[in-house]
């Protein structure tokens, strides 16, 4: 654990009740989930780039 980073509590999304959703609602829900996944992947990529830069700097 990095001491400079704030401690985060893992919070999981509650599964949605899919049984009460219609096809249009389910399609919209899938789109929302895909958008969130894309946002997370973008954040991961940015953090990996920052980390790689820092590691390269400290290897010298």
- Helix, strand and coil percent figures for the chain, each rounded to 5: 65, 0, 35
Range of the domain at 30: 22-59
pLDDT at 1 over 60: no
20-57, pLDDT tens digit by residue? 999 999 999 999 999 999 999 999 999 999 998 888 88
Q: Answer whether residue 29 is part of any domain.
A: yes
Q: Answer whether residue 33 is part of any domain.
A: yes
Q: Answer whether residue 43 is part of any domain.
A: yes
Q: Answer whether residue 15 is part of any domain.
A: no
**Number of domains comprising the chain:** 1
Q: Answer whether residue 30 is part of any domain.
A: yes
Q: Answer whether residue 47 is part of any domain.
A: yes
Q: What's the token pair of residue 34?
A: 């895909």
Q: Which range among 1-10, 15-24, 35-44 shows the weakest confidence by mean pLDDT? A: 1-10
pLDDT at 5 over 80: no
Residue 19: its pLDDT value, please? 97
Q: Answer whether residue 55 is part of any domain.
A: yes
């Amino acid at each position: 654990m990095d001491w400079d980073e704030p401690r985060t509590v893992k919070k999981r999304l509650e599964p949605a009740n899919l049984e009460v959703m219609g096809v249009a609602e389910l399609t919209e829900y899938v789109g929302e989930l895909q958008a969130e996944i894309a946002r997370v992947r973008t954040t991961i990529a940015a953090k990996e780039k920052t980390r790689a830069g820092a590691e390269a700097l400290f290897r010298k």
